[in-house]
Amino acid sequence: MANKVLVVDDEKSIVRLVTFNLEKEGFTTLEAYDGEEALQKTREANPDLIILDIMLPGLDGLEVCRRIRREGMQPAVIMLTAKDHEIDRVLGLELGADDYITKPFSPRELVARVKAVLRRTAKQGESPRSGEAIKTGGLLIDPERYEVKLNGRPVELTPKEFELLDFLARNAGKVMTRDILLNHIWGYTYDGDTRIVDVHVSHLREKIETNPKNPVFIKTIRGVGYKFQG
């Protein structure tokens, strides 16, 4: 069955361009032109992936993403953002977006990103994960149940946050460069932009560290990357 992609942008020419290129590659597409319509179609059609412009009339793309995740819906999300709006990209990733692409963009690049994100989410949905639960310093990471607990209390993580934490913990003591983390968790590089790794590590620390500014579990190795200390 073809993957279903919801394309959300208030510029109809962009929506037509994106849907044309996606349909050429065999995807089924839906269209929305504002935030409220995007939410309604997400609830009704349960798309596999949403291409979501940040600058929308009414509810902007960031708020749409926030509400989608708050309601427990888990479509993959690729944000569309202006080239110079780094803060929007960072916020989108923190709210649970899987990727972003800046305008103007190449339709070929966008289709490649869609395929890559869907491959990753398909892997996450595969049955049960291998590997035993990891217990260290009050932290429990259970890949079979896809859950994390800190001192017995559940910790809510996005799929990417879980993947990142699990990978770091299974390589405890080893320094993981940002490029290694990009390749393993996201499946490809972001044109040299490793900010996505830093954003997710920061978000993880807020959730699992007693003092995120003085982390116990995830240490920064300056100029290189990160190391999990169990």
At residue 128, the pLDDT reads 42
Residue 129 within any structural domain of the chain: no
Q: Which domain holds residue 149?
A: 134-228
90 and 166 in a single domain? The answer is no
- Where among 124, 144, 171 does a domain terminate? 124
Q: The domain spanning residue 115 has which CATH number?
A: 3.40.50.2300
Same domain, 26 and 119: yes
Would you say residue 102 lies in a domain? yes
Same-domain status, 119 and 146: no
Instruction: Examine residue 96 and state whether it is found in any structural domain, yes or no.
Output: yes
**Of 124, 153, 176, which residue sits at a domain end?**
124
Looking at the fold, whether 113 and 152 belong to one and the same domain comes out as: no
**In the prediction, which pLDDT does 188 show?**
57
Provide the CATH number for the domain around residue 141: 1.10.10.10
Torsion of CA 116, 39, 33, 27, to 10 degrees: 30
Give yes or no: residues 194 and 118 share one domain.
Answer: no
Q: In this structure, are 117 and 149 located in the same domain?
A: no
Tally of domains in the chain: 2
> Is-above-0.75 flag for pTM?
no
Q: Are 98 and 206 in the same domain?
A: no
Look at residue 82 in the predicted model and tell me its pLDDT. Answer: 79
Do 52 and 107 fall into the same domain?
A: yes
Strand extents, DSSP E, the chain: 4-8, 28-32, 49-53, 76-82, 99-103, 134-136, 139-142, 147-150, 153-155, 175-177, 218-221, 225-228
- Per-residue model confidence as pLDDT tens for the chain (230 residues): 789 999 999 999 999 999 999 999 999 999 999 999 999 999 999 999 999 999 999 899 999 998 998 888 889 999 998 766 666 767 777 777 888 888 889 999 999 999 988 887 776 554 445 578 999 999 999 988 888 999 999 998 887 889 899 999 999 999 999 988 888 887 654 555 677 888 889 989 999 999 999 999 999 999 899 999 97
In degrees to the nearest 10, what's the CA dihedral of 8, 125, 188, 51?
Answer: 0
Structural domain includes residue 56: yes
Instruction: Assess whether 180 and 79 both reside in one domain.
Output: no
In a domain, 156, yes or no: yes
Q: Are 48 and 76 in contact (CB under 8 A)?
A: yes
Contact 7, 30 (CB under 8 A): yes
Domain end (from 65, 95, 124): 124
166 and 100 share one domain: no
